[in-house]
Structure 1
Amino acid sequence: MATMRDVAERANVSIATVSFVINGTKRVAPETRARIEAAIEELDYRRNVVARALASSRTRILALLHPDLEARPNATVIQFVMSAAHGARERGYDLVLWPVNDDEQMSHLLAGGLVDGALLMEVQIRDSRVDRLVASRVPFALIGRTENDDLPFVDIDFATTIDLAVGHLRSFGHQRIALVAQRTKAGNEPGRIMRAKAAYLDAMAALGRPPAVVAVEGTSAGGREAAHKLHDDFPDATAVILVNEGASAGLVKGLRALGRTVPDDLSIISASTTRELGEMIEPSLTVMAAPAPQLGRLAADALIDQLEGVQDTPPHILIPCTLVPGQSVGPAPDRSSTSRPEPKRERNAQTDS
């Protein structure tokens, strides 16, 4: 691994001059700076993070706080993490994934001066992590929202997303639409689930239809449980909006085990997920693809703008999911007749031109 001395020898300057360029502590002649920067590139020199922090009181490290890494992260979470990491790297920062499940872990992070700022994921409506960050004055931005909309955040526009999903299903004649959400601990509900439920309830009220909500674990077993609950508790439902990525495959399998096919007996739209996951399931799912690549990068920008003093007001950014047709939505079946409707299908992304 190259050292600062190696860079100095390659550029034919003193170690002090290399330090001036790296730390920006003293003006260096342009031609000398160019030689040093070329040597840094040729030698693939990387500054020691501890030395850098001592020199500037900044680590240029950002923590991405996720409250629960015991469960396997889903595809959408991974997209958020990767896009935030790429966005941070483009602006000269490193992003580390930091599991924080209790106050002691949070205190260790904040008191140690280990990071310059934090991004928070899986934000809850009432989130103790946010309270601690506000009290500590550590800069932060949210991927999601608490009940306090004055904080800096980027988030999925769930109201628009659910309206688009309901509108798509209604265009196929569906009136009795259920929601399959993710089961959470009492008093510990992520904002995304609460807002998706609220948007669904508003949509059903506007249609004059009673809600049909099922909450299960975000697993294949949870999906099979949802299939049974829909079959037993809401047999008149002809379509489902799924806000539970981990349960999607299990739901389709569970319906099949009950003798119900998708989309002839039940249409499915999976919301806040990825196009790729929808294509992995048979039949391919119609999805409301989450804008994770955009939001992760925007969250990193929002935090770095705070750190660099280029942000006048906290950003409040909402982006809806995008409808990607698959093969899981068809016309609403006629529950009053034993005849099966003509098996018309929506066009999926591969056949659209």
Structure 2
Amino acid sequence: MGSNAEAPPPIGPDQFAGRIEAARSLLRARGADALIVNAGDSLRYFCGVPWSATERLVALAIPVSGDPWILCPRFETGSLADCLRLPLPVLTWEEDESAAAIMLASLEAGQRVVLDPDMSLRFATLLRAARPDLVFLDDVPVIDTLRTVKEPAEIALIRYAMGLTLAVHKAVFASLRPGMRASEVRRFADQAHRDLGARDGTTFCAVQFGQATAFPHGIQGDQVLGENDLVLVDMGCRIDGYHADITRTYAFGVPEPEQARIWAIEREAQCAAFAAARPGAPCHAVDDAARAVLVRHGLGPGYRLPGLPHRTGHGVGLSIHETPYLVRGNETALRLGHCASIEPMIVVPDRFGIRLEDHFYVTEDGPRWFTEPAVRFEQPFG
């Protein structure tokens, strides 16, 4: 197992600064004066800080004019300086002070402030209470509008992460032996990702055998692989914060004819969904195309089982699930730079499930796979 591709460079200061300027342009166009970005994936998007949201307020303010600033507890300034990739003024607060009041102190009365849609109700309430003279906006799309369209550098990072995870999938397939536990497979995958350069190892790894594959997100317990079991492995890693997420389902030994039939339908549905992912097409068209294949084969319709119990796909980037969502009723048009999964899982209740998951990105010429999809049921990697 190995990866010959060179890792792409991480997102740099110029790109972060460009994202802040793009946010300002959107704020102006929407008649707003400032954006507050909470800790989490969006904070990482704008300034590289991989800080998860906690009970302490850590946030970035992007005003339409003037320098942005970032807020954190005073005792965390060293940790913030260690990961901040853009030179920004840092405001601090002590444990007995109002972080919300300090965050908003320089804004003028009457200004319109857009809040991060992922901000907790607790923080949103504290900010509103600290400055009742400001106008807070919850439904102005700024962050999602920017994050959903990936820059070439982001696409390169996702492609690289996907390539690592596909290599680990191949290694997992070659390593399987009767009597292996799901936990052994997860440990193997984690170490394999680390060996290939994914510093955090496997960010998630779902391993399901036999009947457990009928549950989209698995069941409790440490399953044991038996002869002729169906195997489903869904896993990924992160490179500079950008996710890989690939699922393979295959036969370990001699497959049942019905499993092979459903696997072929799953692959056909995945291909049809991919063909529908054209620039300008509504997101629901991708879901519609996958379900039309299932209906032709007597599955479904809609979310009825045997069939597809959930959406066909989700966006991917700094979050493992993000916009755009490929789901019935979503009229959002696919745009250049959109990245999403295609995973029209077929569930046969109480028996088994088949999920093939690969991701694509939208180009002027149509969709392009990040990784090559599965080849055959018994030999998924050729």
The normalised TM-score by structure 2 is: 0.26
Q: Tell me which protein shows more strand as a share of its residues.
A: 2
Q: Tell me which protein shows more helix as a share of its residues.
A: 1
Q: Looking at both structures, which has the greater relative contact order when contacts are Cα pairs under 8 Å and sequence separation is at least 6?
A: 1
The normalised TM-score by structure 1 is: 0.28
